[in-house]
Amino acid sequence: MADTYRKPTLDKDLDKFATMEEATGLLNRGFVTPGLALVFIFLCAVIAAVFVTGHPGAVTIIAAAAIGAYMALNIGANDVANNMGPAVGSQAMTMGVALAIAAIFESAGALIAGGDVIATISKDIIDPAAVSDPDVFIAAMMAALVAAAMWIHLATFIGAPVSTTHSIVGGVMGAGIAAAGVDAVNWATMGSIAASWVISPFMGGVIAALFLAFIKMAIIYRQDKIAAARRWVPVLIAIMAGAFAAYLSLKGLRALVDISFSEALMIGAATALASWLIARPLIARQSRGLENRNQSLRKLFGIPLICSAALLSFAHGANDVANAVGPLAAIVHTAEYGDVSARVTIPLWVMAVGAAGISLGLILFGPKLIRMVGNQITKLNPMRAYCVALSAAITVIIASWLGLPVSSTHIAVGAVFGVGFFREWYTEKSARRANYVTRHRINPPDGKASKGRLAEQRRRKLVRRAHFLQIIAAWVITVPAAAVLSGVLFVVLRGVLS
């Protein structure tokens, strides 16, 4: 009888083959995304060759196009997570929907409102007169692009959302110092950028925490949550719509229409009023029949959160595509005309490289950072994610009014931290919350056990400290790391090209 249960040799061999095929498939899957990225970089070089063959400096432009494509891929992989992470982490949308929305709106923002002209010396970091030699300038810009892209690639690999703007600023600074010395750097501008390391996340965190505090007091811990939601959710939607209208007027559409700060505020106020009038009957209809509990409230924030993520992606594409194609456009101009200009026109094919690269980088490599921002720093629901998105728009508006250079990455991630740390403080200190939890406990245990459970809940850390310290460390060393790497690459490039 024992022989009847023995597996035949053929079956054993087939099982081994099946196991080997499965393992090979899993191994090959890890090479698909890098392979697609390499194909994209190669295609961008081919496209550049089609447009510039026969022009002076064609080889340099083709090489720069490949580097710009690599930079755009890394911007998509790292920076876009800040827009989509909260919406995905709060389960307002799936990862697939988030990737599709972000890719569409990032590309639209880059191509529609990406700008016709841009400062070639990023953010006025380097005096153009200090690198007036075309060969020196091209080597500096190529070194800056490669260094920034490599640093962002490393940050994405370790799971740290960093500022792509600060990366390219560090790259330009390092190459400028290597090319012309420390006097070539505009240190006043660098000082304001360094100040933004603190200002951006702090401002974003405070604003997000304030809105979350308001939602808790005005809606969540009310006896009739649904009635409170009918009153206040339309107001919150109106604030969000007005903030994004002003935000897009200032940051996303400046290349198409010249809008002053006061005009942007008027546009925002008009949009807020119209949105409130539209949202009131919609929220009243959507809230009918909902149970009087927090889970019901989340449904009312779902659509506004999706819209805010799409608008943030549009504005991000309009602004941050310049980090990839600004230095590339400068290289193209300098290689073609043989002179260094402070401002250049960006060819359409260069904008297309940036837009496509950001979208493809998001799709291929973005999910890792989206999960980090959305799930692994602190737990988000639609209300908390809404506060993060709204904080990002309002902080940029305030920073523009104050004339402060800020990073959208630092703002969004700082807002996530702000929400998490506020929840820790509120859980431990709020008498309102403690009384509400005590009154609404369904089956209250004995007093001693209840006090112990409440004390344990108050001691919980709702922000993962390891991620907090890792991200802060990455922010602090972004500019110096990109600068050192860029300086080294500049020296190498000059040695190779000379």
Q: 366-420: per-residue pLDDT in tens?
A: 888 888 888 888 888 888 988 998 888 888 778 777 766 677 788 888 999 999 9
Sign of CA dihedral 459, 462, 463, 465: positive
Angle between helices 294-337 and 134-158 (to 10 degrees): 160
Mean pLDDT of 110-123: 54
Residue 457 token pair: 């809940």
Please say whether the beta carbons of 383 and 232 come within 8 A.
no
Q: Highest mean pLDDT range out of 288-292, 307-311, 468-472, 480-484?
A: 480-484
* Least reliable range by pLDDT among 92-106, 287-301, 433-447, 480-494: 433-447
Please say whether the beta carbons of 419 and 391 come within 8 A.
no
Residue 235 pLDDT: 94
Mean pLDDT of 116-126: 53
Residue 76 has pLDDT above 80, yes or no: yes
Return d(Cα 324, Cα 119) in angstroms, integer. Answer: 13
Q: Please report where in the chains the tokens 């639609």 appear, as a residue.
A: 382
Query: CA dist 122 to 189, 322, 387, 455, Å?
Result: 11, 9, 31, 52
The alpha carbon of residue 436 and the mean position of all alpha carbons in its chain are separated, in whole angstroms, by: 36
Ordered DSSP codes for 368-386: HHHHIIIIISS---HHHHH
Residue type, 348: L
Residue 272 pLDDT: 94
Tell me which of 402 and 148 has the higher pLDDT. Answer: 148
Return d(Cα 142, Cα 357) in angstroms, integer. Answer: 17
Q: What is the end-to-end Cα distance of the chain in Å, rounded? A: 82
Classify 430 as helix, strand or coil: coil
Q: Please report where in the chains the tokens 């080294």 appear, as a residue.
A: 488
Return d(Cα 156, Cα 159) in angstroms, integer. Answer: 5
Please say whether the beta carbons of 290 and 299 come within 8 A.
yes
What is the dihedral angle through the alpha carbons of 434, 437, 440, 441, rounded to the nearest 10 degrees?
A: -120
3-class secondary structure per residue, 446-495: CHHHHHHHHHHHHHCCCCCHHHHHHHHHHHHHHHHHHHHHHHHHHHHHHH
Tell me which of 119 and 321 has the higher pLDDT. Answer: 321
pTM over 0.75: yes
Helical ranges in 123-163 per DSSP H: 134-158
- For 154-171, how does the pLDDT look when each residue is reduced to its tens digit (9 = 90+)? 999 888 888 888 898 899
Q: For residue 118, what are the β-bridge partners?
A: 344
